[in-house]
Amino acid sequence: MSDKQNKLWGGRFSESVDQFVQEFTASVSFDQRMYAQDIRGSIAHATMLAEVGVLTNAERDAIIDGLGAIKQDIEQGNFEWSVALEDVHMNIEARLTDRIGITGKKLHTGRSRNDQVATDIRLWLRDHIDLIDAELLRLMQGLLGLAEREAATIMPGFTHLQTAQPVTFGHHLLAWFEMLRRDRERLADCRRRVNRMPLGSAALAGTTYPINRERTRELLGFDEVCYNSLDGVSDRDFAIEFCALAALCMTHLSRMSEELVLWTSAQFQFINLPDRFCTGSSIMPQKKNPDVPELVRGKTGRVNGHLIALLTLMKSQPLAYNKDNQEDKEPLFDAVDTLHGSLRAFADMVPALEPNREVMREAARRGFATATDLADYLVRKGIAFRDAHEIVGKAVAYGVAEKKDLSDMSITELRTFSDQIDEDVFDVLTLEGSVSARNHIGGTAPEQVRDAVARARGQL
């Protein structure tokens, strides 16, 4: 059989497609990963066609049995993918016709590759959103467990990467949790728009066959159909939206990674990463490199690039379908794979973090972390905040010169800056007093951290 005749659309053409063009335009090398969704969509389509009388029950059964056998062949590695057949859809349809004869050619009645691929990609993305959500949930649960264990572990909080105020490690981890909570909300919101069915839009205008789109929608588990056939085959907003949320989630993981890289360094030594998440150096035997956080930080750039690629892909396309849209899959597939893999790595790694509690506490003692507490103390003594701010600034300048933290100064030294300072000042200058004083919703007090963990578990 000639290449022209072998094409399922070759009737109009008088010569074969150029060999290079055939390879250049084929997508089967990457879209074959949607085989399960393609077969699922075809089974639902055949079921519906039989119900409306376009296929007989015998034809439907032959198609469904044939598709089931093809799925088994693919999963067992016994399916030969052909570039000449361009894509996953035509490869499966051609094999189906080989298996069951002319009945296989009836499967495509009432649909087009345009609405078929649009349906497949939504089914595929829906499946993978659910897998990503499971890893995201696992990471969030791991964070809550670690935050609960470290609710009272004191560390320095930073602004401008300079010591600002003491916080608890558990409180810091809950900040990570809040980032991921928003990511999970966005993921669920995106899933709702992914879960709309284009099938039945056909090439662009619908079909003359008496199809029942609501029945197909029900069979495939979509929430609703796409209500305009032109938009149904050409919309890729859902892929762009996913890449946008993936880029933002990866940005959050990258920020976490940056802190982990800093905290594991010899200069910080706040935490230890288990060896299984690190590698060594080929030349420096002492090295233990935090490769997982570094790699996640690096992979963020590729997901950001996929978002820009899809936005650029769609920005000048007229309605309806264009071949440009073949370029939607590789960026989307890689964004899904990268986000899923990064979340899995973090979900495995985060519960295994080992904080160096004494190192963290000692770091919080440096940098005058309780200076704001002293200012608040003076305000409670009746001094205006701006005046209190100036008084404490002078005390800090003295501490810098004398290499003394505020909590290390004697009452005599402190009273040189204000006669309102009494012995009870040391209750607020301790690290424990500082964090415990911030005992309100969203505060760093250990009691609030534990309450926040319990509240978050209830929400999950």
The answer to whether residues 170 and 152 touch, using CB atoms and an 8 Å cutoff, is: yes
Active-site residue (options: 16, 252, 265, 281): 281
Q: Which of 2, 160, 316, 410 is catalytic?
A: 160
281 is catalytic: yes
Is 45 assigned a catalytic role? Answer: no
Peptide linkage before 395 cis (omega within 30 of 0): no
| 94: CB partners within 8 A, 6+ apart | 6, 8, 82, 85
User: Do 325 and 115 form a contact (C-beta atoms < 8 A)?
Assistant: no
- Give Cα 217 distance to the centre of its chain: 27
* 3-state secondary structure labels for all residues of the chain: CCHHHHCCCHHHCCCCCCHHHHHHHCCHHHHHHHHHHHHHHHHHHHHHHHHCCCCCHHHHHHHHHHHHHHHHHHHCCCCCCCHHHCCHHHHHHHHHHHHHHHHHHHCCCCCCHHHHHHHHHHHHHHHHHHHHHHHHHHHHHHHHHHHHHCCCCEEEEEECCEEEEEEEHHHHHHHHHHHHHHHHHHHHHHHHHHCEECCCCCCCCCCCCCCCHHHHHHHHCCCEECCCHHHHHHCCHHHHHHHHHHHHHHHHHHHHHHHHHHHCCCCCCCEECCHHHCECCCCCCCCCECHHHHHHHHHHHHHHHHHHHHHHHHCCCCCCCCHHHHHHHHHHHHHHHHHHHHHHHHHHHHHHCEECHHHHHHHHHCCCCCHHHHHHHHHHCCCCHHHHHHHHHHHHHHHHHHCCCHHHCCHHHHHCCCCCCCHHHHHHHCHHHHHHHCCCCCCCCHHHHHHHHHHHHHHC
Query: Would you please indicate which residues are annotated as catalytic (active-site) residues?
Result: 160, 281
